[in-house]
Amino acid sequence: MEGFNRSHAVLGVSDNCIATYPGDFAQALIALDASAEIAGDRGTRNIPFAALHRRPGDAPDIETTLQPGEMIMSFFVPAGPWARRSLYLKVRDRKSYEFALASAAVALDLSDGIVRNARIALGGVATVPWRASTAEAVLKGKPVNDETKKAAAAAAFAGAGARQHNRFKIELGQRTLMQALGQTAAMEI
């Protein structure tokens, strides 16, 4: 916790854990409102993918909501209007085989340049794949411009808590989100 913590999380941390969720795929699944089919001894169940991972709290050794004997069988990604204009942006130290220092999965439903719906998930900065619903709310009903991108980024990291070596991740995460929003809004569909 007090050692070299450069790559550790600034969102979703607890007094027991600041480890960063290392994957890339989960952010896209959360941003696109995917669900997971889970099979186990008691049958099959479906849950929102966003409900699969759990924050560390007092039990950082329990990373998911899977029960003993359960396994993920499949994912379902709905064909929402935001899925047509979506992007994943990853910032890392090296190009090849490196965990994200910050990443953003963004999906936007725009009408005449105004955000009807936004989906944002962040990676490399949180203990779990992080849905930035406060940032989504900031964008709704507004154009994607410098002012709204900055406001959404500020909202996404409002609850961030940094340590000695990972303070840079808050600004890096905000800049990554702003760049992803701009690139996604500029897509031709």
Residue 187 has pLDDT above 80, yes or no: yes
What's the whole-model pTM score?
A: 0.94
CA dist 139 and 119 (Å) reads 10
The pair of three-digit structure tokens given for residue 59, joined into one six-digit string: 């039990």
The architecture of the domain spanning 81-185 is: 2-Layer Sandwich (3.30)
**Sequence spans of domains, the chain:** 33-76, 81-185
What does the block give as tokens for 94?
């090296």
- Tens-place pLDDT, residues 27-86: 999 999 999 999 999 999 999 999 999 999 999 999 999 999 999 999 999 998 999 999
Q: Name, in order, each residue with C-beta under 8 angstroms of 160's C-beta and a sequence gap of 6 or more.
A: 10, 11, 125, 169, 170, 173
* Radius of gyration of the CA atoms of the chain, in A: 17
Q: Is the pLDDT of residue 96 over 80?
A: no
Scanning 34-75, the segments in alpha helix (DSSP H) are none
Classify the C-alpha dihedral 142-146-149-153 as positive or negative. Answer: negative
* H or E, element range at 153: helix 146-156
Nearest CA to 122 among 112, 134, 110? 134
d(CA 131, CA 65): 17
